[in-house]
Homo-oligomer: A and B are copies of this chain.
Amino acid sequence: MTTRWLTSEEQRAWRAYIAATHLLEDAIDRQLQQDAGMPHLYYSILANLSEAPDRQLRMTDLAEKSKITRSRLTYAVSRLEKDGLVRRENCKWDGRGSIAALTDEGMAVLERTAPGHVETVRASLFDHLSKEQVGQLEEIFAQVAGALAEGGSRPTPDEVPWRRRSTPPCS
């Protein structure tokens, strides 16, 4: 089977995307490292926790939400725990499970640093986009994320038996 090479439009799009993504992540990481003392990934782990019920999630669910491997999450949570921003608890209804919970201090850090982070995201990305382009951006990447999420090895919630869920079946 002969290779379906990229057209020159696709090449240009791909290169622009890669370049911008590197620059963007650099800018965001630099700002968060400065102001919050942690890289972007760690910040979004805190953010994910802050939006969960009771500000806590099982490790696997948190990894799924953050789109990272469990082992990477284990390391990150250990660091955040050492900093006092997250607390680890045992899962009540599943002896194997462990739960990461945002501490009050973690919540405080998040609240203190959120404005600066949002400002950076704006200055780096949205300030350069029209309202229309924001819509296009969302549609494009929602499609891609959707496709990669099911195509990948991570099953969708609907495909798995109840015991895979994060909440106990009878509550």
Q: A119's contact among B4, B12, B142, by CB below 8 Å, is which?
A: B4
What's the tally of chain A residues with a CB closer than 8 Å to chain B? 54
Whether A6 touches B136, Cβ cut-off 8 Å, given contacts A22-B68, A67-B22, is no
Q: Is A44 part of the binding interface, using a Cβ–Cβ cutoff of 8 Å?
A: yes
Q: Which residue of B lies closest to A132 (CB)?
A: B136
Whether A44 touches B24, Cβ cut-off 8 Å, given contacts A9-B135, A129-B143, A136-B136, is no
Best-surrounded residue of A12, A67, A129, A144 (most CB of chain B within 10 A): A144
Q: Is the CB of B67 within 8 A of A145?
A: no
Q: Is A52 part of the binding interface, using a Cβ–Cβ cutoff of 8 Å?
A: no
Cβ contacts under 8 Å, A139 to chain B: 133
* Interface of A: prevailing SS: helix
Please state the number of chain copies in the assembly: 2
Q: Is the CB of A10 within 8 A of B134?
A: yes
Q: Is A82 part of the binding interface, using a Cβ–Cβ cutoff of 8 Å?
A: no
Q: Which A-B residue pairs are the 4 nearest by beta carbons?
A: A13-B138, A22-B67, A20-B145, A16-B141
24 contacts between A and B (CB under 8 A): A4-B118, A4-B122, A9-B131, A10-B126, A13-B134, A13-B135, A13-B141, A16-B137, A16-B140, A16-B142, A18-B44, A19-B149, A20-B141, A21-B21, A21-B141, A22-B67, A24-B144, A124-B148, A125-B144, A128-B144, A129-B144, A133-B140, A136-B136, A137-B140
